[in-house]
Structure 1
Protein backbone atom coordinates (compact mmCIF):
# COMPACT_ATOMS: atom_id res chain seq x y z
CA UNK A 1 0.00 0.00 0.00
CA UNK A 2 1.38 3.41 -0.90
CA UNK A 3 2.09 6.02 1.72
CA UNK A 4 -0.65 8.22 0.35
CA UNK A 5 -3.23 5.46 0.72
CA UNK A 6 -2.06 4.73 4.26
CA UNK A 7 -2.34 8.40 5.22
CA UNK A 8 -5.85 8.63 3.80
CA UNK A 9 -6.84 5.45 5.63
CA UNK A 10 -5.48 6.84 8.91
CA UNK A 11 -7.34 10.10 8.38
CA UNK A 12 -10.60 8.25 7.80
CA UNK A 13 -10.02 6.03 10.82
CA UNK A 14 -9.35 8.99 13.08
CA UNK A 15 -12.35 10.84 11.66
CA UNK A 16 -14.53 7.82 12.46
CA UNK A 17 -13.15 7.62 16.00
CA UNK A 18 -13.80 11.32 16.51
CA UNK A 19 -17.57 10.85 16.41
CA UNK A 20 -17.68 10.21 20.17
CA UNK A 21 -15.08 12.80 21.21
CA UNK A 22 -16.09 14.56 24.46
CA UNK A 23 -15.70 18.09 23.03
CA UNK A 24 -17.77 17.23 19.98
CA UNK A 25 -17.11 15.99 16.48
CA UNK A 26 -16.59 19.45 14.97
CA UNK A 27 -13.84 20.24 17.49
CA UNK A 28 -12.12 16.92 16.76
CA UNK A 29 -12.47 17.29 12.98
CA UNK A 30 -10.95 20.79 12.96
CA UNK A 31 -7.99 19.69 15.08
CA UNK A 32 -7.48 16.56 12.97
CA UNK A 33 -7.64 18.51 9.72
CA UNK A 34 -5.15 21.05 11.06
CA UNK A 35 -2.71 18.33 12.12
CA UNK A 36 -2.80 16.69 8.71
CA UNK A 37 -2.58 19.98 6.80
CA UNK A 38 0.46 21.01 8.84
CA UNK A 39 2.44 18.17 7.26
CA UNK A 40 0.86 18.11 3.79
CA UNK A 41 4.01 19.30 2.00
CA UNK A 42 6.33 16.71 3.55
CA UNK A 43 8.31 14.84 0.85
CA UNK A 44 10.88 12.85 2.87
CA UNK A 45 9.70 9.19 2.98
CA UNK A 46 11.39 8.53 6.33
CA UNK A 47 9.70 11.53 7.93
CA UNK A 48 6.36 10.45 6.46
CA UNK A 49 6.83 6.97 7.95
CA UNK A 50 7.46 8.53 11.37
CA UNK A 51 4.32 10.63 11.03
CA UNK A 52 2.30 7.56 10.02
CA UNK A 53 3.63 5.65 13.03
CA UNK A 54 2.68 8.55 15.29
CA UNK A 55 -0.84 8.64 13.83
CA UNK A 56 -1.21 4.89 14.41
CA UNK A 57 -0.17 5.47 18.02
CA UNK A 58 -2.83 8.19 18.34
CA UNK A 59 -5.46 5.77 16.98
CA UNK A 60 -4.54 3.24 19.68
CA UNK A 61 -4.63 5.94 22.38
CA UNK A 62 -8.09 7.17 21.33
CA UNK A 63 -9.40 3.60 21.27
CA UNK A 64 -7.94 3.05 24.75
CA UNK A 65 -9.62 6.21 26.06
CA UNK A 66 -12.97 5.03 24.75
CA UNK A 67 -12.53 1.58 26.31
CA UNK A 68 -11.60 3.17 29.63
CA UNK A 69 -14.66 5.41 29.48
CA UNK A 70 -16.86 2.40 28.76
CA UNK A 71 -15.29 0.42 31.61
CA UNK A 72 -15.78 3.25 34.10
CA UNK A 73 -19.39 3.71 33.02
CA UNK A 74 -20.15 0.02 33.46
CA UNK A 75 -18.36 -0.04 36.80
CA UNK A 76 -20.41 2.91 38.05
CA UNK A 77 -23.62 1.36 36.76
CA UNK A 78 -23.17 -2.00 38.45
CA UNK A 79 -21.04 -1.15 41.49
CA UNK A 80 -22.36 1.92 43.26
CA UNK A 81 -19.59 1.82 45.91
CA UNK A 82 -16.65 1.99 43.44
Structure 2
Protein backbone atom coordinates (compact mmCIF):
# COMPACT_ATOMS: atom_id res chain seq x y z
CA UNK A 1 0.00 0.00 0.00
CA UNK A 2 1.40 3.37 -0.88
CA UNK A 3 1.91 6.00 1.80
CA UNK A 4 -1.00 8.17 0.69
CA UNK A 5 -3.56 5.39 1.04
CA UNK A 6 -1.98 4.23 4.29
CA UNK A 7 -2.15 7.76 5.71
CA UNK A 8 -5.77 8.26 4.66
CA UNK A 9 -6.82 4.91 6.11
CA UNK A 10 -5.02 5.68 9.39
CA UNK A 11 -6.54 9.14 9.58
CA UNK A 12 -10.05 7.80 9.06
CA UNK A 13 -9.53 5.10 11.65
CA UNK A 14 -8.15 7.53 14.22
CA UNK A 15 -10.96 9.96 13.51
CA UNK A 16 -13.53 7.22 14.17
CA UNK A 17 -11.73 6.21 17.36
CA UNK A 18 -11.76 9.82 18.53
CA UNK A 19 -15.54 9.89 18.64
CA UNK A 20 -15.50 7.95 21.91
CA UNK A 21 -12.47 9.65 23.48
CA UNK A 22 -13.23 9.97 27.20
CA UNK A 23 -11.86 13.49 27.76
CA UNK A 24 -13.53 16.14 25.57
CA UNK A 25 -11.08 18.79 26.80
CA UNK A 26 -8.16 16.93 25.19
CA UNK A 27 -9.32 17.84 21.66
CA UNK A 28 -8.28 14.54 20.12
CA UNK A 29 -9.41 15.37 16.58
CA UNK A 30 -7.41 18.59 16.38
CA UNK A 31 -4.24 16.84 17.52
CA UNK A 32 -4.71 14.03 14.99
CA UNK A 33 -5.36 16.52 12.21
CA UNK A 34 -2.23 18.47 13.13
CA UNK A 35 -0.14 15.28 13.01
CA UNK A 36 -1.40 14.42 9.53
CA UNK A 37 -1.02 17.98 8.26
CA UNK A 38 2.65 17.73 9.18
CA UNK A 39 2.95 14.48 7.22
CA UNK A 40 1.45 16.16 4.14
CA UNK A 41 4.32 18.58 3.77
CA UNK A 42 7.10 16.00 4.08
CA UNK A 43 9.14 14.65 1.18
CA UNK A 44 11.71 12.47 3.01
CA UNK A 45 10.47 8.85 2.86
CA UNK A 46 12.06 7.89 6.18
CA UNK A 47 10.42 10.78 8.00
CA UNK A 48 7.03 9.94 6.46
CA UNK A 49 7.37 6.31 7.60
CA UNK A 50 8.38 7.49 11.06
CA UNK A 51 5.28 9.68 11.35
CA UNK A 52 2.99 6.93 10.08
CA UNK A 53 4.49 4.54 12.66
CA UNK A 54 3.73 7.17 15.30
CA UNK A 55 0.12 7.30 14.08
CA UNK A 56 -0.08 3.49 14.33
CA UNK A 57 1.26 3.71 17.88
CA UNK A 58 -1.34 6.36 18.78
CA UNK A 59 -4.05 4.07 17.39
CA UNK A 60 -2.88 1.16 19.54
CA UNK A 61 -2.65 3.35 22.65
CA UNK A 62 -6.14 4.73 22.06
CA UNK A 63 -7.54 1.21 21.71
CA UNK A 64 -5.78 0.22 24.93
CA UNK A 65 -7.27 3.26 26.68
CA UNK A 66 -10.76 2.23 25.59
CA UNK A 67 -10.22 -1.36 26.74
CA UNK A 68 -9.03 -0.10 30.13
CA UNK A 69 -12.04 2.19 30.43
CA UNK A 70 -14.40 -0.71 29.69
CA UNK A 71 -12.56 -2.95 32.15
CA UNK A 72 -12.81 -0.35 34.90
CA UNK A 73 -16.50 0.15 34.22
CA UNK A 74 -17.17 -3.59 34.47
CA UNK A 75 -15.04 -3.79 37.62
CA UNK A 76 -17.14 -1.06 39.27
CA UNK A 77 -20.42 -2.57 38.06
CA UNK A 78 -19.56 -6.08 39.24
CA UNK A 79 -17.23 -5.91 42.21
CA UNK A 80 -15.42 -9.14 43.07
CA UNK A 81 -17.05 -11.07 45.87
CA UNK A 82 -14.65 -12.08 48.61
Question: Aligning the two structures, in what range does the TM-score lie when normalised by the shorter sequence?
Answer: 0.7 to 0.9
Runs of 4+ in structure 1 deviating by more than 4 angstroms, as ranges, are none
Q: Within 2, Cα distance between the matches of 1:71 and 1:38?
A: 34
Q: Which runs of 5+ in 1 are unaligned?
A: none
Question: 2:34, 2:51 → 1: CA distance?
Answer: 14
Question: What is aligned with 2:59?
Answer: 59
Q: Distance in 2 between matches of 1:22 and 1:63?
A: 12
Show the 5 A alignment for 1:21-36.
21-24=21-24, 27-36=27-36
Count residues with an aligned counterpart: 81
Unpaired runs of 5+ residues, structure 2, are none
1:40-65 deviation digits (Å, cap 9, x = unpaired): 21011111111111111110000000
Aligned-residue RMSD, C-alpha: 2.0
What residue in structure 2 maps to residue 4 of structure 1? 4
